[in-house]
A and B are shown apart, each in its own frame.
Chain A
Amino acid sequence: MSPLQKSPRNSFILRLHKNLYDQKILERMLKEDKEWIKPLKPSDKNYHLLECKTTSLSDVLEWANYLFYLNKTS
């Protein structure tokens, strides 16, 4: 199952594994995009769970790609 799922509340849920995505980078990005991305309480402690309040899939994917880029280059 993809870590990106459409939510019924006009948003997307993004699941990011803590072993793969750096906590500090993620926190920095969440701070910048707090208007539309909110962290949720995950049921699995190995994951970050984020709610992306947008109806545009490409917005979320662009954001995820930038997160990937920062994790690779930082």
Chain B
Amino acid sequence: MPEKHIVVHPDHAEIALNSKIYSKETVFAAGYVFLDKSYVLLDQAGERLLVYLYPQKPGADLKKLAMEFTNELLNYAHYFTRLKANADAVKSLMQRALFSSAPALVQEAEEKEIEDLIKELEEEEKNVSTAKKSKK
């Protein structure tokens, strides 16, 4: 992150973020980690999210604090991106894990799948036969 996005004031550090890159959820997650070492205030100006960090210990290095916060932001931004990208895989793994612990569920799911397939085929057949009748 370019340093122009971090402004160090005498008693606090200000970080300007693009809300298209860092969501509100990401900023709250990163801020939550910092609650024990700094006071966190948020603001919004158009597409910019502004984070204000006031240190809890006097004499703290504000620039370092801000840099650490941006690292945490990156960490959570990556986490949420991966979570979204892997959602289908995670769902599938969870289903498999559940099915393996309760085999009856597998049979139930397979029966349901077969029923759905039969219904689909029947509907297709109906559609074909009505199309043939209308041609005649």
Interface residues of A (CB under 8 A from B): 2-4, 15, 17, 19-21, 61-62, 64-65, 68-69, 71-73
> CB-nearest residue of chain B relative to A4?
B41
B39 is an interface residue with CB less than 8 A from chain A? yes
Chain B residues contacting A68 (CB-CB under 8 Å) are 28, 31-32, 35, 40-42
Let me know if B52 and A4 touch, CB within 8 A. yes
20 contacts between A and B (CB under 8 A): A2-B14, A2-B41, A3-B41, A3-B42, A3-B52, A15-B43, A20-B24, A21-B42, A61-B41, A61-B54, A64-B39, A64-B41, A65-B35, A65-B40, A68-B40, A68-B42, A71-B28, A72-B28, A72-B29, A73-B32
B133, chain A: closest CB distance, angstroms: 59
Contact of B42 among A17, A61, A69, A73 (CB under 8 A): A17
Verify A17–B28 contact, CB threshold 8 A: no
Q: How far is the CA of A72 from the CA of B29 in the complex (A)?
A: 7
**Count of chain B residues near A, Cβ 8 A:** 18
A2 and B50 alpha carbons, distance in the complex (Å) = 9
Q: How far is the CA of A2 from the CA of B116 in the complex (A)?
A: 59
A-contact 0/1 string along B30-47, CB 8 Å cutoff: 011001000111111000
Option from B12, B32, B49, B52 in Cβ contact (under 8 Å) with A72: B32
Q: Do residues A72 and B54 form an inter-chain contact, with CB atoms below 8 A?
A: no
